[in-house]
Amino acid sequence: QKEVEQDPGPLSVPEGAIVSLNCTYSNSAFQYFMWYRQYSRKGPELLMYTYSSGNKEDGRFTAQVDKSSKYISLFIRDSQPSDSATYLCAMSAKGSGNTGKLIFGQGTTLQVKP
Amino acid sequence: SAVISQKPSRDICQRGTSLTIQCQVDSQVTMMFWYRQQPGQSLTLIATANQGSEATYESGFVIDKFPISRPNLTFSTLTVSNMSPEDSSIYLCSVDSGIHEQYFGPGTRLTVT
């Protein structure tokens, strides 16, 4: 069993839709949870970072962490064609002000159709 | 956030040769990391490179195959040695901001023929 599971998709939605991306994990030591967006032939770009359980909102993006269920989500409201990319969840158990080793999900490919 | 550059951006190499990838950051950072992203796969950590000490390698990766240098707080290199087609991947460096955020470079796309 992989430490982090993420549905690879692909996920195709119409422009303006609400998108829900999810990851589950097995390691209860994970404390730091991140979402990265990766466009084709580019490096991953950090979208959201959350510590422990709870919600975090940034513009059209909302990250949720439920440590009791070992489940994290990223919601994209009013999705745009420019949101078409691969979304990677990543997690870390490291503390002390740095992230250390990140464990990544497989990535979900999202296509937003105009 | 840190600005990270990598050289080369891509290369095509012959089996049995070696390639050194450079990673440059625009600010001093303590921790730098090297990841591999194989075609259609997610990212896997190769090693952690700290300035002034030997790199720490993850299970399945060895120094003879992936030697790493970290001469200062803004620069690191990863060498892929004695390459085979199985080494064809995207190699990415990343840095830790010190506030629980990790940023990635654009990657080096390597094809081994």
Kindly report, residue by residue over A15-36, the tens digit of the pLDDT: 999 999 999 999 998 988 999 9
Q: Is B82 helix (H, G, I), strand (E, B) or coil?
A: coil
| pLDDT for B100 beyond 70 | no
In chain A, which residues have their Cβ closer than 8 Å to the Cβ of B44?
104
Give the contacts of A108 (CB within 8 A, at least 6 positions apart).
Answer: A6, A7, A8, A9, A10, A11, A21, A86, A87
Compute the half-sphere exposure of residue B67: CA atoms within 13 Å on the CB side of its CA: 8
Structure tokens at A92: 């870390």
> Is there a contact between A98 and B96 if contact means CB atoms under 8 Å apart?
yes
pLDDT (tens digit, 9 = 90+) per residue, B26-46? 999 888 999 999 987 889 999
Q: What is the pLDDT of residue A44?
A: 94
How far apart are the CA of A67 and the nearest CA of chain B, in angstroms?
A: 18
Question: Which residue reads 């069993």 in tokens?
Answer: A1
